[in-house]
Amino acid sequence: MPKAQETILEIDLNALKHNFEYLKSKVSKNTKVLAVVKAFAYGSDANTIANYLQDLNIDYFAVAYTSEGVALRNAGIKTPIMVLHPQAVNFKTLIDRCLEPCLYSAKVLNEFMASAQDQKQSNYPVHVKFNTGLNRLGFWENDVEYIVQRLKATNAVKVKSIFSHLAASEDLSEREFTINQIKTFKGIAESFSRQIGYQPLLHMCNTSGILNYPEAHFDMVRTGIGLYGFGNSKEEDKNLIPIATLKSIISQIHLIEKGESVGYNRAFISERTTRTATIPIGHADGIGRQYGKGKGFVTINNKQAQIIGNVCMDMIMVDITDIDCKEGDEVIVFGKQPSATEFSKSANTISYEIITAISQRVKRCFIGN
């Protein structure tokens, strides 16, 4: 692949296909797979990722907000799209674009039913979320009877699925808690289906749930971070390939004398003669200030170069004293090696945060099929 000549996010579609096929191999052939493509497909490119997965016959997509679903429809996505956190102000648009809302509270349930009735809908597909322990969004177990009564009062909507979300599926020390979540959800599902008179799809597993709790695969599984190459464990990370590599170049090299400073607020004072490289990427591109002052690093010619001083809006400076390099050389921030997981650990955070933070001003380039 060609060397970078500017700051780019290189996205490997072959890696995406590998991850999708690996995760799909973990579930039965009758279990549907939902791809979570919210937040620009975890900081990559939602339109391209979704179209590629649609060609691979993905069963469902999920986004956080209606606007994300509209963007996918505008990009040619025909596959069903679930909106995980819909807001009432967008219900008309949601229906107009054939997006499927997740209903998680009495307020949202009643508001969406009223909107669907106003727009003369019949059996419009909705998804009902139950809270089994994450305590973020969702109805409670004892809300089943109320929900069913409300749903039976109209033919404007019909429940396509009921679902919940595992709170700690990647942490096997919390297995007892997770098993209790699964048990609670099974009870909710049985009660709901019996009272409503039909069987909606059931889904509960995220990526770590797919890998660690096959007993909870049910009718569909949801995968987000796994598609993008992260398995939430060292063992599973070996089976997945990060799809995104953040690259840049060396813009300029400086020779800093002992006692001289680098960057804003003189955050770095050289203790020796030091060679530094300035790289055109900064906190406006997603590399936050927490990576400065020697915490974060980049890779130049297979060697780590520590970020020195404060991260600037558009630039970082790194120590290349012991690295043989020149202006114009390629710089790897993260990718397959080192991964976003390794990079993010330097600032005590997680891969999710760094990959979703990459600014839309960073050019996206695609390789593979």
Per-position DSSP letters for 219-260, written without gaps between them: TEEEESTTTTT--SSHHHHTTS---EEEEEE--EEEEEPTT-
Cα four-point dihedral sign 367, 71, 221, 138: positive
Indicate the residue type of 46. A
231 has which bridge partners?
Answer: none
- Is 124 annotated in the active site? no
Say how far apart CA 164 and CA 349 lie, in whole Å: 26
| Of 75, 71, 366, residue with least CA distance to 243 | 366
Point out the catalytic residue in the list 158, 160, 186, 264.
Answer: 264
- Are the CB atoms for 228 and 36 separated by under 8 Å? no
Catalytic residue among 17, 38, 129, 247: 38
Of 329, 270, 268, which Cα lies nearest the Cα of 298?
329
Q: How far apart are the first and last CA of the chain?
A: 14
Rg (CA), the chain: 24
Dist CA 43 CA 125 (whole Å): 28
Establish whether 345 is a catalytic residue.
Answer: no
**Does residue 6 contact residue 249 with C-beta atoms inside 8 Å?**
yes
Q: Contact 242/82 with Cβ under 8 angstroms?
A: no
- DSSP single-letter state for residue 143: G
Catalytic residues: 38, 264
